[in-house]
A and B are shown apart, each in its own frame.
Chain A
Amino acid sequence: MSGVALVMHQFRFDQKVFWRNPAAVFFTALLPLIFLFILASVFANADISDLDVKGSTYYVPAIITLAVISATTVKLATNLPAEREAGQLKRVRGTPLPPATFVAGRVGNSLVISLVMVALVSVIGALVYRVEIPTETMPAMLVTLAVGAFSFSCLGFALAAVIPTEEAAPAVTNATVLPLYFLSGVFIPQDELPNGVLNFADAFPIRHFFEAMFTAWDPNTTGSGFEFGQLAVVAAWGVFGLLVAVRFFRWEPRR
């Protein structure tokens, strides 16, 4: 099999495994949609004062942020340590499958799940909450999605590399991302958050990804909607994650 065909082969099985695992589908695909229904309904008509948008418009890019990070960082950082400790990665490593192909299959898997989630959130937002799907800023939305999904996948591999055990994986991952969702304005509208909190959140990539995504969805945006500054921070985090992963990722269980 050629390199590309082998990546597709690997991706096909990763997809099969994902959609057949009810817990994975619930946490990665359904939970973000449940949050969308709750938050967009509760805050439907609340004005997000400093942004001049309705709550429902605010929560579509917010839940896209949540969904992309769930499909990438959270999914990879919880699955890979479990597979490592179960000896599954070691078995794969003993075959001729190149490690890069394995990684590409997993990143592709996370990318496609992210895309599916963005499509679902967009359609639900449009049909249920009348949130207009961006047209002029669509390229910016897709580029933001691509940069975000790649970078947060790299961070998923980095977290997987430093998480010692299968048991620690969900705890460490959630302890990392959950507070940042709150502090970055993903759950709580940002006009309710003190500046100090937002400044703190700015040190991490979630807030920057959300801001770039929000600009692409903001009806007040004029022009193409690219937030290159925000994307640069997200990408820098991605590179950092990649370096950590390359340096520390292991295929064999700790004993």
Chain B
Amino acid sequence: MPDPVISVEGLRKSYDGLEAVRGIDLEVRAGEIFAFLGPNGAGKTTTVEVLEGYRTRNGGEVSVLGVDPQRADRDWRQRVGFVLQESRLVPELTPREALEQYAGYYSSPREVDETIRLVGLEEKADVRTSKLSGGQQRRLDVALALIGDPELLFLDEPTTGFDPSARRQAWEVIAGLRDLGKTVFLTTHYMDEAQTLADRVAIISAGRILATGSPEELGHDGETRTEISFRLPDGVVGPDLPYGIRTAARIDAELVSLSAQDPVPVLRELTNWAADRGVGLPGLLVRRPSLEDVYLQLTGGTDGAGEGS
């Protein structure tokens, strides 16, 4: 297997004695979209800024494209692109001009027109950036990070504060990066963003990694349970249900819901019982745990607000 694009072992970082990152391990492979998911203040931005070379660390080994980012030089910066969490554009320039300016910084930049097309800014290419919407500005951020044709892109909360349609558009752009063969390191506190985009996810909370894997793997690990729910059929009351179901279920008004590590035997029992009685199971729903459920279970449902990043 080729060397990982990013490898992190035992990374530690503290500010004024407060430990923001408490010994994390990560590995990002070439060509994947890796989502770093966690609540605000979990240590996401601190970690990404260490990987980007903006921050020094207090401990651990970090290698990004084979280089320790603490000793990042010009050659290394040719190969990475950053979309920072907060970075205003120069309002006096147009997207085309901003891209022409940044293209000049790299030894083999992408074509400006093609990059504009890639992020869908053709119609705004010659309009001052101050006249762009938030979503359009963010897409220009991505274009600026791409203009040097980097192997690796860091996207720090690229869709925070977006309306749903702007997020969809941004997601299309990010998903398109995979087709270009780029490796993408994405931080986000949106579960759906990670679920939609990522090949693999690491969940961080309070400076520690709680789980790593593909969104499907995370949904399937033994800790999480499948949810089954249906409405009570007409003429059936709770005590009529088979014993195994009755004792495991919550019945709230007409809605019966239960969860099981292995849903198959439960469903067999339930459907056999319904067939015997000649009733249906209205609104039957079998739901695999989503990344969101895993995330809420792991992080205890708190968003850690106010911890600072």
Q: Flag if A20 contacts B92 (CB, 8 Å).
A: yes
The 8 Å CB contact of B101, one of A9, A20, A86, A253, is: A9
Q: Name the B residues within 8 Å of A9 (CB-CB).
A: 101, 104
Q: Flag if B105 contacts A94 (CB, 8 Å).
A: no
Interface size counted on chain B using CB atoms at 8 A = 26
Q: Beta-carbon contacts of B61-82 to A below 8 Å, as 1s and 0s?
A: 0000000000000110110101
Q: Flag if B87 contacts A87 (CB, 8 Å).
A: yes
Q: Flag if A95 contacts B77 (CB, 8 Å).
A: yes
Tell me whether B102 is interfacial, beta carbon within 8 Å.
Answer: yes
Q: Name the A residues within 8 Å of B267 (CB-CB).
A: none
The distance in angstroms between the C-alpha atoms of A96 and B105, with both chains bound, is: 6
Q: Flag if A87 contacts B88 (CB, 8 Å).
A: yes
| B306 CB, min distance to chain A CBs, angstroms | 14
Q: Flag if B88 contacts A95 (CB, 8 Å).
A: no
The distance in angstroms between the C-alpha atoms of A253 and B52, with both chains bound, is: 16
Q: Flag if B84 contacts A6 (CB, 8 Å).
A: no
Q: Flag if B78 contacts A96 (CB, 8 Å).
A: yes
Q: Flag if A94 contacts B101 (CB, 8 Å).
A: no
Q: Flag if B90 contacts A17 (CB, 8 Å).
A: yes
Tell me whether A16 is interfacial, beta carbon within 8 Å.
Answer: yes
Q: Name the B residues within 8 Å of A195 (CB-CB).
A: none
Interface size counted on chain A using CB atoms at 8 A = 22
Q: Name the B residues within 8 Å of A88 (CB-CB).
A: 87-90
Tell me whether A91 is interfacial, beta carbon within 8 Å.
Answer: yes
Q: Name the B residues within 8 Å of A93 (CB-CB).
A: 54
Q: Flag if A91 contacts B92 (CB, 8 Å).
A: no
CB-based nearest A residue for B72: A94
The distance in angstroms between the C-alpha atoms of A11 and B144, with both chains bound, is: 19
Q: Flag if B77 contacts A96 (CB, 8 Å).
A: yes
Given A95-B148, A96-B148, A86-B93 contact (CB < 8 Å): no
Q: List 25 A-B contacts (CB under 8 A).
A: A9-B101, A9-B104, A10-B104, A16-B92, A17-B93, A21-B92, A86-B87, A87-B84, A87-B88, A88-B88, A91-B82, A91-B84, A91-B87, A91-B144, A93-B54, A94-B53, A94-B77, A94-B80, A94-B84, A95-B77, A95-B102, A96-B77, A97-B105, A98-B74, A252-B54
* Chain B residues proximal to chain A, CB less than 8 Å: 52-54, 74-75, 77-78, 80, 82, 84, 86-90, 92-93, 97, 101-102, 104-107, 144, 148
* Chain A residues proximal to chain B, CB less than 8 Å: 1, 6, 9-10, 13, 16-17, 20-21, 86-88, 90-91, 93-98, 252-253
